[in-house]
């Protein structure tokens, strides 16, 4: 593995492979990150940055942990650089929400930031945004307009504009945004990256300046789907300091769909599907539908009108009064402290009284029933993330209509408490990216990740605005783990289609992923066993081996283990991501006369040679 300080990918898998192999230190990565930011010049991505001295001190502390046992298990984001939107608190840094008159010095980290730092991540700084997270355009900030890396004349998308551009340009591995109306998905689409909007309440919003507090959620920008799952796995946890946080009792645990096949996805009906005259985006969406069908999906046209009616409630209904709760005092005292477009949007709160709020809630309940019936007939809803994008000049000339158009496919999401992931889906003839959103019922993130990972790989696009492509495939981590199942790594006769696979199936096992181990194992053929079995051991001069990871119901695990004959045993196996999982190993005494087949890379390759 070689490392190019200016061009190599910062995705988590790539960095962890280098860290694991010792070919890269955290200090090396930080040096590269700071140089990349310097070369970007004045791109208006950052509002404030952690001092260089503090960043290097943090990097050296992490480098000192390099030989810690189970390093990536204890620190799943070890040495990973990230950024946060500047409405998210970081201790001893100012939170501005892109409004200097509002700024305050945060006393402690927001809960999500604290969890990321505990997981070994390195904060680089706080990013630019549409003021008070009000807007989807990225032009509503006194700190300038973050530069769209694909075309400087076009908007970067908002409100989490700087967070998206920082990831797309390879200046950080991931970033946090917030999403109330689409702020975690629109910038992802316009920057060719992943944008994850989880179910409300799964990630704490404690320590975050609210837009609409009852609707807000933290969003995740990343280069890969797998990275988004890792980040969510670190940050998902009940937070007693956040009254909107979902407790364990409230959460559901959906089954993972490990293979994309036989799924149904809804697409908006022809009367609702619009691209605002952008025929190139329309063509890209049609191609995305074909790609989903090739992955095993069945497209079903659905009535999109109740979703649209829900979307209209967000800014044309009483929920805008929630935005007033945050900034009303400042707006009354010093109205010109607010960006003109933000102030005009929030001033509409004056139209509504308490009766309007209840009328809006009643209307929403009716719409939730309509949309829920539709969502339960499909596995996913698939829409363009945006129907079109705009040059900065168009947005400045027509701020209201362009912002509304950008939210056409996003504004309904949090009112209905759905979860979604925005995915790159192609490049337009003008060089700008196009993206789709895959949407599911609340708590269905696990199922989203399955189809999202497959679609993103099939797109064969570079990540962000870099020239780097996706790293080799490895398992997409379950975020909401099903506590009724245990994972087991199998390396031989228990793999899919091989003679003993039936034992897993009889116990209710399900395939989680086809993957590889970390490069620390040797594989031997024990041909005297019936059927022949491989024996896998950990070794200093080992290699990475092809394996499968299965999930077994906990109550059946003991039944299965009873069938494991000596000298095989169950121990801990490190996957290529560094993640530990229970798995088949072999007692070394039995390998004295066995054949070393390690260089073949796995048991299937050995069987092909028989």
Q: Which residues are annotated as catalytic?
A: 85, 159, 183
Beta bridge partners of 127: 46, 85
Beta bridge partners of 573: 581
- Give the C-alpha distances (Å, rounded to integers) separating 322 from 89, 328, 347, 359, 591: 20, 10, 11, 15, 68
CA–CA distance, 347 with 145 (Å, rounded to integer): 23
Check if the beta carbon of residue 345 is closer than 8 Å to that of residue 320: yes
- 497 CB-side CA count, 13 A: 4
Beta bridge partners of 82: 123, 174
Q: What is the DSSP letter of 13?
A: H
- Give the C-alpha distances (Å, rounded to integers) separating 235 from 200, 206, 218, 242, 486: 13, 12, 10, 14, 22
Q: In 3D, which of 111, 75, 121, 119 has the Cα closest to residue 91?
A: 111
Q: What is the DSSP letter of 487?
A: E
Q: Based on the number of CB atoms within 10 Å of its own CB, is 64 exposed (0-12), middle (13-18) or buried (19 or more)? A: exposed
CA–CA distance, 584 with 534 (Å, rounded to integer): 9
Check if the beta carbon of residue 442 is closer than 8 Å to that of residue 417: yes
- Give the C-alpha distances (Å, rounded to integers) separating 15 from 40, 69, 221: 22, 18, 17
The gap between the terminal CA atoms of the chain, to the nearest Å, is 32
- What is the distance of C-alpha 485 from the center of its chain? 23
Note the helical H segments in 414-530: 445-459, 501-506
- Give the C-alpha distances (Å, rounded to integers) separating 559 from 496, 507, 508, 556: 19, 8, 11, 5
- Give the C-alpha distances (Å, rounded to integers) separating 357 from 16, 351, 354, 412, 418: 49, 11, 5, 17, 21
CA–CA distance, 330 with 308 (Å, rounded to integer): 32
CA–CA distance, 175 with 170 (Å, rounded to integer): 11
In three state form, how does the secondary structure of 31-84 look?
HHHHHHHHHHCCCCCEEEECCHHHHHHHHHHHHCCCCCCCHHHHCCCCCCEEEE
């Amino acid at each position: 593995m070689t490392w190019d300080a200016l061009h190599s990918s910062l995705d988590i898998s790539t960095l962890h492979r280098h860290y694991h192999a010792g070919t890269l230190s955290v200090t090396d990565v930080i040096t590269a990150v700071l140089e990349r930011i310097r070369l970007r010049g004045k791109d208006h991505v950052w509002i404030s940055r952690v001092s260089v001295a503090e960043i290097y001190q943090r990097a050296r502390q992490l480098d000192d942990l390099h030989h810690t046992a189970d390093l990536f298990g204890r620190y799943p984001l070890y040495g990973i650089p990230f950024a946060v939107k500047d409405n998210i608190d970081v201790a001893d840094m100012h939170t501005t929400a892109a409004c200097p008159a509002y700024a305050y010095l945060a006393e402690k980290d927001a809960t999500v930031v604290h969890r990321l730092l505990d997981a070994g991540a390195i904060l680089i700084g706080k990013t630019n945004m549409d003021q008070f997270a009000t807007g989807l355009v990225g032009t509503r900030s006194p700190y300038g307009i973050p530069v769209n890396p694909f075309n400087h004349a076009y908007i970067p998308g908002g409100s989490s504009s700087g967070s998206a551009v920082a990831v797309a340009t390879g200046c950080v591995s991931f970033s946090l945004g917030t999403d109330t109306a689409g702020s975690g998905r629109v910038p992802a689409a316009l920057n060719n990256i992943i944008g994850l909007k989880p179910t409300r309440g799964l990630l704490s919003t404690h320590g975050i300046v609210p837009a609409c507090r009852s609707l807000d959620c933290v969003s995740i920008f990343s280069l890969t789907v797998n990275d988004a799952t890792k980040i969510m796995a670190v940050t998902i946890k009940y937070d007693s300091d956040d009254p909107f946080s979902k407790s364990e009792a409230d959460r559901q645990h959906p089954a993972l769909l490990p293979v994309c096949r036989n799924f149904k996805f809804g697409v908006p009906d022809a009367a609702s599907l619009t691209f605002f005259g952008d025929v190139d985006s329309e063509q890209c969406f049609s191609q995305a539908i074909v790609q989903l069908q090739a992955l095993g999906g069945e497209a079903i046209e659905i009535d999109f009108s109740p979703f649209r009616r829900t979307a209209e409630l967000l800014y044309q209904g009483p929920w805008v009064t929630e935005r007033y709760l945050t900034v009303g005092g400042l707006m009354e005292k010093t109205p010109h402290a607010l960006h003109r477009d933000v102030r005009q949007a929030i001033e509409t709160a004056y139209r509504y009284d308490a009766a309007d709020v209840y009328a809006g809630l009643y209307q929403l309940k009716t719409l939730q029933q309509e949309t829920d019936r539709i969502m339960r007939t499909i596995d996913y809803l698939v829409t363009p993330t945006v129907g079109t994008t705009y040059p900065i000049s168009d947005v400045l000339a027509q701020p209201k209509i362009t912002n509304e158009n950008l939210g056409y496919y996003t504004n309904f999401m949090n009112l209905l408490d759905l979860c979604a992931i925005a995915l790159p889906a192609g490049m337009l003839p003008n060089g700008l990216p196009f993206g789709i959103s895959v949407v599911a019922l609340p708590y269905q993130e696990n199922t989203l990740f399955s189809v999202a990972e497959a679609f993103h790989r099939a797109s064969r696009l570079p990540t962000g605005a870099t020239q780097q492509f996706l790293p080799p495939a490895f398992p997409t981590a379950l975020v909401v783990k099903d506590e009724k199942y245990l994972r087991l790594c199998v390396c031989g006769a228990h793999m899919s289609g091989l003679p003993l696979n039936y034992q897993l199936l009889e116990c209710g096992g399900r395939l989680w992923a086809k993957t590889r181990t970390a490069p620390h194992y040797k594989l031997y053929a024990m041909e005297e066993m019936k059927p022949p079995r491989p024996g896998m051991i950990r070794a200093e001069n080992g290699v990475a081996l092809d394996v499968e990871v299965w999930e077994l119901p906990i109550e059946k695990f003991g039944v299965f283990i009873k069938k494991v004959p000596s000298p095989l045993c169950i121990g801990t196996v490190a996957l290529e991501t560094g993640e530990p999982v229970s798995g088949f190993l072999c007692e070394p005494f039995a390998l004295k006369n066995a054949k070393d087949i390690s260089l073949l890379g796995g048991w299937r390759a050995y069987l092909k040679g028989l």
